[in-house]
Structure 1
């Protein structure tokens, strides 16, 4: 990352050189969930990149359009109204500050708790019944996609039972989170050759995350050689990230992908992310079925609660897994 000096409008927000038009991830793996080869395609993508796009996922266009429309309406409200839905600790509305460790980004967001397939009753934000209903419909649908993807992972890896992975996310006490991000256009930087960091470099600590956005680009992923590439937007598809915990469960066979978001200078970006995490007491260690003869675990055993606590104490860009490597 090259940090540049910026105008007062983005004070304290890290700036990046604007993406080169040629730095596009044109080879994003695409998995057709309706294809008989989906399981192997998922495993191949997780091993190579830790990131892929899902099509033929079964989520109705109307469900996606409805939640997007309500999110745009929420973020267009006066700032004072939105602030009454915060702070985002542990859940609610947040703006620019990401977490508790001083990380900043050109965004505002809603961080929401999920219980089973819907927003938790203890999470009172958003209070608008229409928006809440749209979120619940969307979360229930995208959670089904996450289950299908994780079942495909298990099938492709030859793990039994078939719900060995999904049970961690769908079982009682699972730690699921839903996030709605809004990256306003950063017009102050237009034509200056730099862009505001929307959400800084990080990996997701959970098992899996599914992301969908409107048609505005901004998502970037880092390949294994460290090169950052822009991901072409596709509002009809879902993008799947392998999380840190899944990397450990597969003993590094799958790897969690570093990603970030660069704010657009002209267009607003809205994204929706479902994070599937296990119960806090869930033991996280390489699955015995995936350890070959004589192969040793690369990681110390820990619980999801222990890792979550360590992850959220870290800064964006930190190697969270380093302290758990053997």
Structure 2
């Protein structure tokens, strides 16, 4: 897939330098050690826990998501990002949902990218649809897609469109894709529970698959960056700054263009080998707390590419806003106090939106010895 549209100018976008303190520079060679886990294979639970403990990150093999589902949404995303800037701007600004270019959030973070941020689960629509009506037409398109339970007795969700915008990303394509990767996230969390000896097996997956779950879906487009051709090899342009994800897990897929980098436990940054046929799972802050720090969230970032566009699609599996996040009792010793103070997902999400990308959002919730 080739997308030629460009986001805003490069002013105020930071560089990643080899002289960065704290091991900020990444190795020039791709990291060969990313674990690959077959979720359907024997020993999957132990393999998932091991990968999460060592890296907070792994690749899912034999994930079961049909290629046509991925290709359809990637094609829709390419068509959107290739539109004239004025048309894309009509689908924004992201606040936080919608279309954004260069600016990431409302707190000063920037990057060489443009993106769509979509709500995809039941809770996201609850407040906004109070004045909205169900839209039955499957031909309508929207930048914000939400599921909520219908106002009648039924187990089938209805789609509500919060904004009817001509963004050109078909809601059926998003729905089909998100439904598939939500299933991947649930299988991963079931494997985590099994591997850690947490019962029932759906203790974690149930948090992100219930009617009130709070998932978000992001499509990022990183155009080729011409500035890189004028910079020394020791510098890269920030595509998406270093951060951890606040949810339980994130399921990421890209078009095969490199750029994703991972911080290892020793602080070294390593480039992740791209694999357009696989999904990558990233441990988030909430899972770190639930496992009392046994599985730690991982810092990651994206740097721009000088030649090829990069498109990534990420599903962030979040629980219901009222879900209490605290270390699971099964993972605490007798009389042991958890390493983190309890909070609700809703409160943590608000705190995350108020913070900068690189902030350590969990630090205020750690218990001090």
Range of TM-score over shorter length:
over 0.9
Alpha-carbon distance, 1:125 to partner: 6.4
With over 3 angstroms needed to count, the CA separation of the structure-2 counterparts of 1:128 and 1:79, relative to structure 1, is closer
In the alignment, is the contact (CA less than 8 A) between 2:56 and 2:282 conserved in 1? yes
TM (normalized to structure 1)? 0.93
Alignment correspondent of 2:129: none
Deviations along 1:273-313, one digit per CA (max 9) or x if unpaired, are: 00011111111100001112343210111111111111111
Partner of 2:110: 104
1:92 counterpart residue number: 98
Query: What is the number of residues matched between the two proteins?
Result: 319
| Partner secondary structure for residue 319 of structure 1 | coil
Deviation of 1:127 after TM superposition, in Å, equals 4.2
Unaligned runs of 5+ in 1: 1-7
Question: Aligned residue for 2:32?
Answer: 26
Aligned to 1:161: 200
Q: How much does 1:259 deviate? A: 0.2
Aligned CA-pair RMSD: 1.9
* TM-score, structure 2 normalization: 0.83
CA distance in 2, matches of 1:71, 1:277: 23
* Partner Cα distance (2:168, 2:305) in 1: 31
Q: Report the 3-state secondary structure (helix = DSSP H, G, I; strand = E; otherwise coil) of the residue aligned with 2:163.
A: coil
Alignment of 1:266 with 2:266, yes or no, is no
SS in 2 for 1:320: coil
Deviation at 1:122, TM superposition (A): 3.9
Aligned mates of 1:65, 1:237 — CA distance in 2: 13
Alpha-carbon distance in 2 for matches of 1:123, 1:273: 21
- The reply on whether 1:79 has 2:120 as its aligned counterpart is no
**How big is the shift at 1:81?**
0.2
- Relative to 1, partners in 2 of residues 1:154 and 1:125: Cα closer, same or farther, differing over 3 Å? farther
Are residue 182 (structure 1) and residue 221 (structure 2) matched? Answer: yes
2:60 corresponds in structure 1 to: 54
Q: Considering only CA atoms, is the larger Rg found in Structure 1 or Structure 2? A: 2
8 Å CA contact retained: 1:53, 1:238: yes
The equivalent residue for 1:4 is none
SS at match of 1:172: coil
Structure 1 residue 70: deviation in Å? Answer: 1.1
Residue 130 and residue 113 in structure 1: after superposition, are their counterparts in 2 closer, same or farther (change >3 A)? Answer: closer
Partner SS state of residue 47, structure 2: helix
Query: Larger deviation: 120-129 or 176-185?
Result: 120-129
Aligned to 2:284: 243
Counterpart of 1:284 in structure 2 is 325
Alignment match of 2:145 (pick from 108, 119, 127): 119
Residue 298 in 1 paired to residue 363 in 2?
Answer: no
